[in-house]
Structure 1
Amino acid sequence: MDQNMDQMMKVRRVLFAVPMILLFALVFLTIKTYITEQNNQIKMSADNYQPLVISQPARVTKQLLPPGGKVVKNQPLLSLEVLYEQTKSAVINFNSPEAGYFFHAKTNNNVVKAYQPIGYLLKNSDANEFSFLIKNKPANMGSIGDQVKITVDDKTIFGKVSMVIGSFSKQEWQKIFIKFNNEQYLSLLSPDAKMSLELVEEQLTN
């Protein structure tokens, strides 16, 4: 009888301990993930984009290419119904002023007010160099020439730090420039893209 009671007590202790261990593990992983995300916060700088505007209110009637589509100069981006007056309108194509990657702006029922962005053009050159704002300095990050990788939507873009503006501060977003190895996945770099940055020890390619 006593042996049975001892065995039952041991089983109860094990059953109690397992959920507690799992709970502590979950809390640890949550805290670790939060700290990692905070330390690796990075976002695109607004000066990478050219806002595209029109002088009259307009309604987007058709999107002529998917978000992040690569475009050439004068390529049609959107079909618009320009609302000159309550009873007067005209349908036009809005063409890209330059080459780059086009991203749609968020609109209310596809209606855009005058001089409000109808989209954003990610300006690009053969250098594939862009400016970023980073919240905290990554561990072991030195300066110009450091190899980094940026993760966007489970895709990884490799490059290197080409310029650092000023010095890192815990209270401010720090501007850095990163030159990517190639154009792969540049279509993911929308103005509101969620991304993270990590330092890599050796040069890698996409």
Structure 2
Amino acid sequence: MLVIFTGNGKGKTTAALGAAVRAVGRGQRVLMVQFIKGPWPSGEDEVQVTSSKSQVASGKGGSFILKKMGLGFVGILGDQLPREEHVKAAKNALAFVSAKIEEGRRKNEDEYDMFILDEVNVAVDLKLVSIKEVLAVAELVPDNKVMVLTGRGAPAELIERADLVTEMKEVKHPFNDGKMGKINVEF
């Protein structure tokens, strides 16, 4: 199943994390790879999601692994990295996800039940990776697994391929009143 959380509103990564919590609660294993978010800390970096109840119920327990592979926002907020470094990081992130899916297939045991590609839609929009590359990785996901793509500006080709698409719409946001992001809400 391919799920997309997109739109100009808040909550795309948060929705993906909610899906991850549900999966872990059912004893499943989740891999989240962040394509844009850089080295500054956010709440999800600090959490180790495990559930002893799931371990008892499923015999194997759920887990949540977060790989922050992006180098930060591209071309804004003081970014001084060459564009090529951002491209390389995004391509490495996509290759990492692809390798994890293929590894599970080779071993005939799926290491992960859910793959979250956080801000990959933005990486496509910035031309760090192509739609074709993202679709190729999405096609590798077995039918009994879930891949979640987040980020504003999901391209029509990805939306067409997806099974479930939710668009977050901004109605009101403190940024518009000049207020800074709030811990636990924005990061």
TM-score (norm 2): 0.21
Judging by fraction of residues, say which structure has more strand.
1
Larger radius of gyration: 1
TM-score (norm 1): 0.20
Higher relative contact order (CA 8 A, sep 6+): 2
